[in-house]
Amino acid sequence: MEKRANFTSKLGIVLASAGSAVGLGNVWRFPTEVGANGGAAFILMYIACVVLLGLPLMVSEFVIGRHTHKNTADAYRQLAPKSGWVFQGYLGVFTSWFILCYYSVVSGWTLKYLLASLSGEVTSTPDSAACFVSFTSSPWAPLVFMVLVLLMCHWVIRRGVQEGIERYSKLMMPLLLLIIAVLVVCSFSMPGSREGLRFLLRPDFSKLTSSVVLSAMGQAFFSLSIAMGCLCTYASYFTDDARLMKTAGSVALIDTTVAVMSGFIIFPAVFSVADVAPDAGPGLVFITLPNVFQIAFGGVPWLGWLFAVMFYLLLLLAALTSMMSIHEPVTAFLLERFRLQRRTAASIVTLSCMAVGVLCSLSFGPLKDVTLLGMTFFDLFDFVSAKLFLPLGGIIIALFVGWKLPRALVQDEVTNRGTLHSPLFPVYLFLVRWVAPAAIGLIFLNELGLFR
């Protein structure tokens, strides 16, 4: 049998996994949630969720992937043959594919905005809102950009684990981190930025209701790419000397830092421009920020242009590395289960996502009145994957690793067969066995609207 590919270095492992975690969820969704949910109070809650729930689950997925060195579906088949747990393996692969279908729509928008910022359109249009709506609702343009980003992702995945994923993560992630640093400094140096910082850092504990706490958990899971099959697949390429807890810690640290820094970029900038009201959701980065770019650097238009170009490049890089991580689990599954060539497997994934992505993309235009259960295709895909499959997968993974897998197997993986001293192992096991299933169960019920 052909030797299975591995990541070649620890840096590659951390950067590829961090590439998966750092995505649109950090740069656009996190700041919005912080703004809506009480500033620093939400950030504190979020960090608690990352540490107490996100980290243990990430380590659990690493255990499954690294122990089996198989794609997610086959990993569960090996660990619990002919049992109901095998379902989770397929669910992971399917969720990845499903998310890719709509994630690539918004990723396509980031490419469009990068090009539009390069050409100066973003910083010169008088009405950013109208511009955004006319772009997303037109039938062809967003489709073309969706296809383009999928092709970029395909191009990387086709090259394989080392030459593709590892190599490009090592290239894109440092660039992304550098851009973040530059933008934070720029944003802080804007007049009036203090107001934005105050907004971000003043904890408003009165807003900390149970539903906010649960949103923080949901955001933490989505942002860390938990329960989607991708961490498990990436871990199947980890080398035997990779330290699972340490890797998970680094990934969570990078992910959280990028999320908080994105808040530091966006809010001071937005507040430095008094007459621009912060918008929620996609509006924040595609409507509010273009207005900010135009006004904030009043006297010096090229500075606004540069800020815009860097910002959308950052978004595109973040989106691409995350797309790679949800493309790969499906590709790896097809490739290994059906013994296809990587090229063929990757093409099936890319083409099928394009086909289904059309529905998601058109739901902002020609198909906006076509609804299922009261949701457009895009909203339905988002709801089903992020709000149903994600918590469901999270609970199953926690129960599987906490209760089904032999404790010795888990301990062996976490301690690299006893060679590492892991004083935190009992704490980890406690969190996975008790805290995670209970907490995710609550998120699940909350997302389904049972507490409203």
List of residues contacting ligand PHE (CB under 6 A): 20-21, 23-26, 99, 222-223, 225, 228, 230, 322, 325-326
Which is nearer to ligand PHE, 272 or 350 (by Cβ)?
350
Closest distance of CB 49 from ligand PHE, Å: 14
Closest distance of CB 164 from ligand PHE, Å: 16
Closest distance of CB 319 from ligand PHE, Å: 8
Closest distance of CB 420 from ligand PHE, Å: 27
For residue 9, give both structure tokens.
């270095």
DSSP tag of 372: B
Closest distance of CB 35 from ligand PHE, Å: 17
Which is nearer to ligand PHE, 99 or 439 (by Cβ)?
99
Sequential DSSP letters for 158-206? HTHIIIIIIHHHHHHHHHHHHHHHHHHHHHHTSTTHHHHHHHHHS--GG
Among 156, 154, 151, 180, residue whose Cα is nearest residue 26: 180
CA count, 13 A, side-chain hemisphere, 71: 23
24 and 106 in contact (C-beta within 8 Å)?
Answer: yes
Which is nearer to ligand PHE, 291 or 325 (by Cβ)?
325
DSSP tag of 37: T
Which is nearer to ligand PHE, 259 or 276 (by Cβ)?
259
Closest distance of CB 139 from ligand PHE, Å: 26
Which is nearer to ligand PHE, 147 or 232 (by Cβ)?
232
Spell out the SS3 assignment of 294-335.
HHHCCCCHHHHHHHHHHHHHHHHHHHHHHHHHHHHHHHHHHH
Residues recorded for the chain? 452
Looking up tokens 């950090």 gives 26
Closest distance of CB 326 from ligand PHE, Å: 5
Which is nearer to ligand PHE, 322 or 361 (by Cβ)?
322
Closest distance of CB 242 from ligand PHE, Å: 20
For residue 293, give both structure tokens.
């770019």
Q: What CA–CA distance (Å, rounded) separates 374 from 183?
A: 39
Q: What CA–CA distance (Å, rounded) separates 89 from 78?
A: 10
* 137 class by beta-carbon count within 10 Å (0-12 exposed, 13-18 middle, 19+ buried): middle
Q: Roughly how many angstroms between the first and final C-alpha of the chain, as a whole number?
A: 54
Which is nearer to ligand PHE, 222 or 305 (by Cβ)?
222
3-state DSSP call for residue 119? coil
Which is nearer to ligand PHE, 103 or 135 (by Cβ)?
103
